[in-house]
């Protein structure tokens, strides 16, 4: 925690109010004591470089980059960076808000090479473009696939598409709703099936207006 | 019947005497006992497929032990695992490269119907792109289930009018 606070202090010193709202998270049972901080989009690459290069902080390991789609919120997307330091055993989480109309974020691939694939996945699933990325291609779906599958307005069952000679997709039959599993003692009750409290697919789509 | 004193051996009658049968039956008999599988291992079912080929379950008891990793040398495609849309056309292309006559076993829930993956990424059953002869349930199926499917396929092959198929254009059996 002390290292994370020091990291946030040096970020604030360098970037001023572009670093906002630090949030502490602790869990005595799990022994977790972590900080999250929101960083402005335009300085994220410099902030990461600072956190890695400052000898006292030395966040040398980028654990993950994840995209978040808060469908109705503004800004719609968020990109989270989870950092770890092997030297100081400290964790730090950086959050970056990304508006839908300009879904771009500076790439941190120059700071940690491992960010390349994380950013490609984030681009593939959410359509967030990383500027300055050396090779921003889709990583799971194929080039030409027209959708970004983890966006909230993308249906679970998928949409039809076709790239000749490469791949096609069809909507999967959901037969009235997403299949859900519930915790239960007997395996038979845990089986995934359409539940009464789950909205039927057509009702769900109507409420979304899509 | 044989008891402990009977000697069982090669009689030589097979060489000396003509065997009278239908050509269809002879061709089918040859084909069904020497299936060369194309192991289309795509997910965890492939582990069970390997187990079926290994010593405990020993698929060679049924003459199907010659796993060919070239489609041009195989006549039975075992689709073992989840067929994603990204893989689907590659599976189809490999199937198209296999020479006739050829058969297909859809092994496990995913290959048969998409299984638990009702999602944007998974083909909902390999029978959408190629003809399947035998479906095996299970997630993944045990090796015995795959062997049962193989025996069922052998039964199916032994009933095939092989000569009639020979005269048909190959495209007719391809889809």
Domains in chain A (CATH in brackets) are: 2-131 (3.30.460.80), 173-208 (no CATH)
Q: pLDDT at position A140, please?
A: 93
CATH topology of domain B41-160: Rossmann fold (3.40.50)
Q: How far is B108 from chain A (nearest CA, A)?
A: 17
Our CA dihedral for A127, A131, A136, A139, rounded to 10 degrees, sits at: -40
Q: In this predicted structure, what is the pLDDT of residue A106? A: 94
> In this complex, do B118 and A167 lie within 8 Å of one another by their Cβ atoms?
no
Q: Which residues contact A11 (CB under 8 A, 6 or more apart)?
A: A19, A37, A39, A47, A50, A51
Q: State phi, psi for A197 to the nearest 5 degrees.
A: -80, -5
Domain ranges across chain B = 41-160
Question: Which of helix, strand or coil describes residue A191?
Answer: coil
Q: Does A179 touch chain B (CB under 8 A)?
A: yes
Q: Give the torsion through C-alpha atoms of A49, A54, A57, A60, to 10 deg.
A: 50
Global ipTM:
0.75
| Nearest chain A Cα distance for residue B118, angstroms | 6
pLDDT of A206 over the 70 cut = no
Instruction: Say what the pLDDT of residue A80 is.
Output: 95
What is residue B4's predicted lDDT score, i.e. its pLDDT?
66
The tens digit of pLDDT for each residue in B33-85 reads 999 999 999 999 999 999 999 999 999 999 999 998 999 999 999 999 999 99
Query: Which of A74, A119, A78, A121 is CA-nearest to residue A97?
Result: A78
As a whole number of angstroms, the distance between CA A123 and CA A148 comes to: 8
Instruction: Report CB contact under 8 Å: A172, B116.
Output: no
Contact B46, B80 (CB under 8 A): yes
Whether A203 has a pLDDT exceeding 60, the answer reads: no
d(Cα A22, Cα A134) in Å, to the nearest integer?
31
A-chain residues near B89 (CB < 8 A): 165-168
- Give the pLDDT band of residue A195 (cuts 50, 70, 90): low
| End-to-end Cα spacing for chain A | 44
pLDDT in tens, A100-154: 999 999 999 999 999 999 999 999 999 999 999 999 999 999 999 999 999 988 8
Q: What is the mean pLDDT of chain B?
A: 87
| Closest chain A C-alpha to B124 CA, distance in angstroms | 7
pLDDT band for position B175 (cuts 50, 70, 90): very low
Inspect the interface and report whether the beta carbons of A166 and B89 lie closer than 8 Å.
yes
Can you tell me the distance from the alpha carbon of A46 to that of A107, in angstroms, rounded to the nearest whole number? 10
Cα distance between the two ends of chain B: 47
pLDDT digits (tens, 9 = 90+) for A54-105: 888 899 999 999 999 998 888 999 999 999 999 988 899 999 999 999 999 9
Q: Is B61 left (phi over 0), alpha (psi -120 to 50) or beta?
A: alpha
**Measured distance CA(A83)–CA(A96) in Å, rounded:** 14
Element containing residue B39 per DSSP (H, E):
strand B37-41
Residues of B in contact with A157 (CB under 8 A): 118-120
Q: Which residue has the higher pLDDT, A157 or B36?
A: B36
What's residue A190's pLDDT?
76
């Amino acid at each position: 925690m002390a290292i994370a606070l020091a990291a946030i202090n040096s970020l604030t010193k360098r970037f001023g109010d572009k670093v906002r709202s630090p949030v502490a998270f602790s869990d005595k049972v799990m022994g977790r004591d972590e900080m999250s901080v929101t960083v402005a989009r335009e300085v994220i690459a410099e902030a990461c470089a600072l956190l890695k290069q400052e000898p006292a902080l030395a966040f040398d390991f980028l654990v993950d980059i994840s995209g978040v789609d808060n469908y109705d919120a503004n800004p719609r997307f968020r990109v989270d960076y989870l950092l770890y330091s092997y030297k100081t055993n400290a964790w730090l989480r950086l959050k970056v808000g990304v508006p839908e109309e300009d879904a771009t974020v500076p790439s941190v691939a120059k700071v940690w090479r491992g960010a390349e694939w994380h950013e490609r996945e984030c681009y593939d699933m959410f359509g967030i473009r990383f500027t300055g990325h050396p090779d921003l291609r889709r990583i799971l779906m194929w080039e030409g696939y027209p959708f970004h599958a983890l966006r909230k307005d993308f249906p679970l069952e998928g949409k039809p598409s076709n790239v000749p000679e490469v791949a096609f997709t069809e909507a999967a039959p959901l037969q009235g709703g997403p299949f859900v599993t519930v915790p239960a003692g007997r395996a038979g009750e845990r089986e995934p099936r359409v539940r009464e409290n789950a909205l039927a697919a057509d009702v769900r789509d109507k409420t979304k207006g899509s | 019947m044989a008891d402990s004193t009977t000697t069982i051996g090669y009689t030589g009658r097979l060489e000396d005497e003509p065997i009278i049968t239908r050509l269809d039956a002879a061709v089918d008999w040859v084909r069904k006992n020497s299936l060369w599988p194309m192991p289309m291992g795509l997910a965890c079912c492939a582990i069970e497929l390997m187990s079926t080929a290994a010593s405990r379950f020993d698929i060679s008891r049924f003459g199907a032990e010659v796993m060919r990793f070239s489609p041009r040398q195989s006549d039975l495609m075992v689709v073992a695992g989840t067929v994603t849309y990204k893989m689907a056309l590659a599976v189809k292309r490999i199937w198209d490269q296999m020479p006739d006559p050829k058969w297909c076993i859809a092994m496990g829930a995913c290959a048969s119907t998409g299984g638990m993956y009702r999602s944007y990424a998974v083909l909902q059953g390999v029978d959408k792109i190629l003809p399947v002869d035998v479906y095996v349930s299970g997630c993944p199926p045990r090796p015995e289930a795959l062997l049962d499917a193989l025996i069922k396929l052998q039964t199916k092959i032994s009933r095939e009018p092989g000569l009639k198929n020979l005269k048909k254009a190959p495209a007719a059996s391809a889809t």
